Structure 1
């Protein structure tokens, strides 16, 4: 591990620990509980999302991974509470960049974020093996270990700091540990603009033998963020 990687892992102030609820995931990724039953699912990166906690509680097999998990649960919970309040303050200044249908107002949004954080950190205390610390673009999992991989609010959203090369390396790693399918949401950057290299990404994946399509989903909070990328690996019949 390089010194740079160590500093990223140890500097909790650089990590925003905030997450979405299980219900949001179902809508963001156009999922149903039934289609996930019997499948091994990876949430990467997961942050303070409650998808892993609630999913396992209702009988699904979900693992979460994130750079934040190098830190203690208590530190993460405290950081999450601070980040939620900071985010809500910023939301007051930028409400016009969001569509207030899924959430009626900022107070309802705050409650969803607090619920996700509480569910996540509570489950983390009891089931720490479900929360794996990672430093992308490298993952500590076996080839084709997961049937379905979900990746929310990370790759294309931070296009201003994660370049095209990082995206390709991360996608290669997700493909390596995926048996069947990867879903990525959203397909816009922080300004709500379509990721400018998305067509290049799609072409790259198609050249790897993947079936790729943009799918409209029943969730739009950030303006223009209502599409996910569905990537299905080619079936190896050999």
Structure 2
């Protein structure tokens, strides 16, 4: 195996390729198909989510971007299947950290995650141009190229490894490529604690003239992970 191949394999091992379903996105971000019709939407970072795949089948205009997309769809699908089983085994040991009314049980959760992965992998094969490889905090898109941007389970969640400056630079970039609004979910870290610098982020955005709202959604799986930040351009 060459050094380049070894490097790519190592990079892939660092990625956890698990995603949410279209239905989960609708509930997390308080969306409706009607409000999304005619809008150009970006899911960033999208991972193995099926929001793009299912949304485009419904006639929506959705693009997905993620650092994972530097790798092939086949490699990502295989990685996702491994990650899914590892995640389910870990979840069984930490069930009390989650609310199970949405999925019912571990099998229900596995079915949702597997459905998302399969839909995503299939769509990556059929509509590869909709899946763009990116490395945040930089995006390869024009100013205000999208109407709405959705960002799930990344910012704030990894506060232990992504510092405040990274959060600010990333949010600035998300807003640069968005014409109308950015929605970020959830507002807690991996331990379910509210991101400690969230008020600083809100103040920063308000000073720049954005309308910022914390809105409770219809979705809560990880305890306390039930609100989004909605940032609207005036």
Normalising by structure 1, what TM-score?
Answer: 0.94
Residue 28 of structure 2 is matched in structure 1 by 28
Residue 3 of structure 2 is matched in structure 1 by none
- Taking the TM superposition and a 5 Å limit, the aligned residue runs for 1:162-173 are 162-173=162-173
Distance 1:198 1:113, change over 3 A: same
Q: Is 2:118 the partner of 1:113?
A: no
Distance 1:185 1:120, change over 3 A: same
User: Whole-Å Cα distance in 1 between the matches of residues 170 and 207 of structure 2?
Assistant: 16
Query: Per the alignment, in what secondary structure is the counterpart of residue 181 of structure 1?
Result: strand
Structure 2: unaligned runs, 5 residues or longer: 1-6
- Offset, 1:51: 0.1
Residue 4 of structure 2 is matched in structure 1 by none
Query: Per the alignment, in what secondary structure is the counterpart of residue 158 of structure 1?
Result: coil
User: Whole-Å Cα distance in 2 between the matches of residues 215 and 61 of structure 1?
Assistant: 25
- Offset, 1:200: 0.2
User: Whole-Å Cα distance in 2 between the matches of residues 218 and 172 of structure 1?
Assistant: 27
Q: Is 2:135 the partner of 1:129?
A: no
- Offset, 1:10: 6.2
Per-residue CA deviations over 1:174-196 (Å, capped at 9, x if unaligned) read 11000010000000000000000
Q: Which runs of 4+ in 1 moved over 6 A?
A: none
Residue 87 of structure 1 is matched in structure 2 by 87
Of 138-147 and 7-16, deviating more is 7-16
- Offset, 1:9: 9.2
- Offset, 1:8: 8.0
The alignment covers a number of residue pairs equal to: 228
Q: Is 2:223 the partner of 1:223?
A: yes
Structure 1: unaligned runs, 5 residues or longer: 1-6
RMSD: 1.0
Query: Per the alignment, in what secondary structure is the counterpart of residue 215 of structure 2?
Result: strand
Query: Per the alignment, in what secondary structure is the counterpart of residue 150 of structure 2?
Result: strand
